[in-house]
Amino acid sequence: MDSQYLQTQRFQLQKRVRRLNSCDTTLFHSALVQFWNYLHEHVLFKAVLEKLATEAPDHATEIQTLKNRSIKLFTSEKDALHFAFRVIEHCAAQPVETNGHANMPEVMLGHGLSHGTKHAEALDAFRDAFLDTFYEHLDESLDQTGAILSLLVKYRQRVEWCYRAEAAEIAVTGERKLAPHLYAYLHDQGLEFSIEPQGPSGIPDLVSPDLVMDVKLFDGSARGVSYIASGVNQVHTYLREFDQVTGYLVIYRMCPEALHFSFATPDRLFPALHIGGKIIYLVVIDICDYGASASKRGTLREFNVEEATLVSQLQAEPAA
């Protein structure tokens, strides 16, 4: 991604974490809730949180036992990060006040880590165990594939706003010709990947250390909903074979009918399928040549796409 943009985002993140580290026990929880909301409102960090939410175990039991000074220990940084994420998620969901008094869930959890009796010591323990771990991951993700969803949002806007005709013209020759249009953009943004590695079940379009991506066209007829389902099956198969968690199916819509995914939720940047510990994002890019302005197109028609339809072609897990 653009180095100046990343530098700005990193500075904004550091500024907010410094504020958290300077808060006393009374103000910390309110500041943490504000920080959590800021992350969800920012497309770059929202993408990182979505990935963590997909990968991290629930850890509800461990959080409850921590309040009783039963500390969960981990042998990998990834497991510790997932726990830190769930702890902060849990705290951020608590109300800022109860009966007119400031809530302090972070202090209560911190007492499970600290042998001291002072609230300030407990809050420091919370920061050391959870906030620092979480912040380090957010910072590292600015340079890693946690930014992929953000890049896809920008690419979609770029195509639909500025390069619709160009993409539509390329699409006539097939998705194999259109895919490099996307990959060139991702490459220019600094994403490292390889194209079309040979796998046991075929050739995925794009793979990087944390990325499996495939491209499909949608025209509402020959390449309809069942064609998208075949793409879901391909991505899911590649995720298994390349031992990845998150995959992306980029769908270039060539027809005027919209795609409505019944399982989509407003808190997601893109509709997402959760399948056996894997997540597949469905990124729809409108490259239709409407031939008329929006006010003259008449009633919008759409294809309603059910989750069951998209997973109907999934191949069974291989026998152990």
Last residue of a domain, one of 120, 141, 162: 141
**Residue-averaged pLDDT of the chain:** 86
Query: What's the pLDDT score for residue 315?
Result: 63
Same domain assignment for residues 180 and 274: yes
Q: How far apart are CA 119 and CA 295, in angstroms?
A: 61
Residue bearing the bigger pLDDT, 37 or 197:
37
Same domain assignment for residues 41 and 153: no
CA 245 to chain centre: 11
Query: What's the pLDDT score for residue 6?
Result: 72
Cα angle for residues 195, 43, 141 (degrees, 5° grid): 60
**Residue 316 falls inside a structural domain:** no
Q: Do the strands 206-208 and 194-195 form a parallel or antiparallel pair, or are they unpaired?
A: antiparallel
Residue 116 above 70 pLDDT? yes
- Taken as a whole, the chain contains a residue count of 320
Residue 96 above 90 pLDDT? yes
**Residue 315 falls inside a structural domain:** no
Same domain assignment for residues 155 and 216: yes
- The lowest-confidence range among 25-29, 138-142, 186-190, 194-198 is 194-198
Residue 267 above 70 pLDDT? no
Same domain assignment for residues 152 and 45: no
Residue 208 above 70 pLDDT? no
**Residue 319 falls inside a structural domain:** no
Last residue of a domain, one of 93, 111, 141: 141
Same domain assignment for residues 104 and 210: no
Query: What's the pLDDT score for residue 316?
Result: 52
CB 29 within 8 A of CB 105: yes
Q: How far apart are CA 213 and CA 195, in angstroms?
A: 10
For residue 313, count CB atoms less than 10 angstroms from its CB and return exposed for 0-12, middle for 13-18, buried for 19 or more: middle
Percent of the chain at pLDDT above 90?
54
Q: In the chain, how many domains are there?
A: 2
Query: What's the pLDDT score for residue 117?
Result: 87
Predicted TM-score (pTM) above 0.85: no
**Residue 49 falls inside a structural domain:** yes
Percent of the chain at pLDDT above 70?
89
Same domain assignment for residues 162 and 97: no
Using alpha carbons, list the distances in angstroms from residue 279 to 54, 55, 119, 212, 247.
Answer: 7, 9, 40, 11, 6
pLDDT category, 13, cuts 50, 70, 90?
very high
pLDDT category, 42, cuts 50, 70, 90?
confident
Last residue of a domain, one of 124, 141, 158: 141
Same domain assignment for residues 91 and 161: no
pLDDT category, 210, cuts 50, 70, 90?
low
Same domain assignment for residues 32 and 112: yes
Residue 269 above 60 pLDDT? yes
**Residue 32 falls inside a structural domain:** yes
Same domain assignment for residues 200 and 281: yes
- The lowest-confidence range among 209-213, 215-219, 298-302 is 209-213
**Residue 73 falls inside a structural domain:** yes
Residue 197 above 70 pLDDT? no
Residue bearing the bigger pLDDT, 283 or 4:
283
For residue 149, count CB atoms less than 10 angstroms from its CB and return exposed for 0-12, middle for 13-18, buried for 19 or more: buried
Q: How far apart are CA 251 and CA 248, in angstroms?
A: 10
Per-residue pLDDT tens over the stretch 140-191 = 887 654 568 778 888 999 999 999 999 999 999 888 888 889 988 988 887 7
Same domain assignment for residues 132 and 150: no
Once rounded to an integer, what is the mean pLDDT over residues 266-294?
Answer: 84
The domain of 85 spans 3-141
Q: How far apart are CA 84 and CA 12, in angstroms?
A: 21
Residue bearing the bigger pLDDT, 194 or 57:
57
Same domain assignment for residues 203 and 288: yes
**Residue 21 falls inside a structural domain:** yes
Query: What's the pLDDT score for residue 147?
Result: 67
Q: How far apart are CA 108 and CA 97, in angstroms?
A: 15
Query: What's the pLDDT score for residue 204?
Result: 47
Once rounded to an integer, what is the mean pLDDT over residues 29-40?
Answer: 96
**Residue 320 falls inside a structural domain:** no
Residue 198 above 60 pLDDT? no
CA 291 to chain centre: 34
Same domain assignment for residues 158 and 202: yes
The CA-based diameter of the chain, rounded to the nearest angstrom, is: 71
The CB-side HSE value for 163 (13 A sphere, CA atoms) comes to 16
